[in-house]
Amino acid sequence: MQEKLCFYYSAMKGGKTSRIFSKIHDLEEIGQKVLLIKPGKDTKGENQIVNRLNQTRTVDILLPSTSKIVTEETFDRIYECSHIIVDEVQFLTPEQIEELWTINKNTNIPITCFGLLTNFQGKLFQGSKRLIELADERLELGTNSLCTCGAPAKFNARKVNGVFTMEGDEVEIDGASSSIEYVPLCGTCYYNKVYRKGKMGKCIKPKTRLS
């Protein structure tokens, strides 16, 4: 059987971590050896993943963005495992995504990735973009993540000191600074509350005619 490279995505607060915990549970129950990878860029929880019930699991590889996935140090663990799970996959570089693909196709080890599609500006993360291109299966996770209006959320809006913004670096981990939080929003609310507001804020001065 051809094992797959899979990408499961949702907006933030979409219950991805809970899905990872149940996936690991299911695999280990049938005797599979799971290898859990998390990018070091996600500083939340350090070398652990934490779900909403505060259950934790230590990751096997905390991957720096400058590093290869297969190194002298990780080689044995990767080739001995029966299933690779990647959390916060959007933070991987396109090169690291290609390496996941290579591992999957060369070893036939199944790889299941979880993450976000787009950043706070509504643009694809580079890692997610490459994964959409290469994954054998891409699936949007249910509608766990709801907008403030009740519609399913697709966007991850950023608030700084309580105000929505489209400015700033792509990666700002919430919780690292108390002034930053993320709010899952539907397309309409994102357009009205974040995008349009930001644009209008920029041209708030009425234009005066010279003639």
- Active site residue ranges: 88
**Dist. CA 211–CA 192, nearest whole Å:** 34
Q: How far is the CB of 152 from Zn ion (least distance, A)?
A: 9
Q: DSSP readout, 171-208? A: ---BTTBTTEEEEEE-HHHHIIIIIHHHHHHHT-SPP-
Residues binding Zn ion: what is the number (CB under 5 A)?
Answer: 5
For the stretch 100-113, what's the b/e string if a residue is b when 16 or more beta carbons lie within 10 angstroms of its beta carbon?
bbebbeeeebbbbb
Q: Which residues pair with 115 in a beta bridge?
A: 9
Neighbour-count burial of 138, counting CB atoms closer than 10 A to its CB (0-12 exposed, 13-18 middle, 19+ buried): middle
Q: How far is the CB of 128 from Zn ion (least distance, A)?
A: 22
Quick one: 31 or 150, whose CB is closer to Zn ion? 150
In the list 62, 70, 124, 151, the residue contacting Zn ion (rule: CB under 5 A) is 151
Structure tokens at 30: 């049938």
Q: How far is the CB of 96 from Zn ion (least distance, A)?
A: 33
Quick one: 150 or 206, whose CB is closer to Zn ion? 150
User: x-or-dash pattern for Zn ion, window 11-50, by CB under 5 A?
Assistant: ----------------------------------------
Q: How far is the CB of 185 from Zn ion (least distance, A)?
A: 6
Query: Which of the residues 61 through 100 are near Zn ion (CB under 5 A)?
Result: none
Query: Which of the residues 155 through 194 are near Zn ion (CB under 5 A)?
Result: 186, 189
Phi, psi of 95 (to 5 degrees): -65, -40
Stretch that binds Zn ion, among 36-44, 145-153, 167-175, 176-184 (CB under 5 A): 145-153
Neighbour-count burial of 64, counting CB atoms closer than 10 A to its CB (0-12 exposed, 13-18 middle, 19+ buried): exposed
Q: How far is the CB of 1 from Zn ion (least distance, A)?
A: 41
Fill in the DSSP letter of residue 65.
T
Q: 37, 60 in Cβ contact below 8 A?
A: yes
In the list 103, 135, 147, 183, the residue contacting Zn ion (rule: CB under 5 A) is 147
Quick one: 96 or 145, whose CB is closer to Zn ion? 145
**149 contributes a contact to Zn ion by CB under 5 A:** yes
Binding site for Zn ion (CB under 5 A): 147, 149, 151, 186, 189
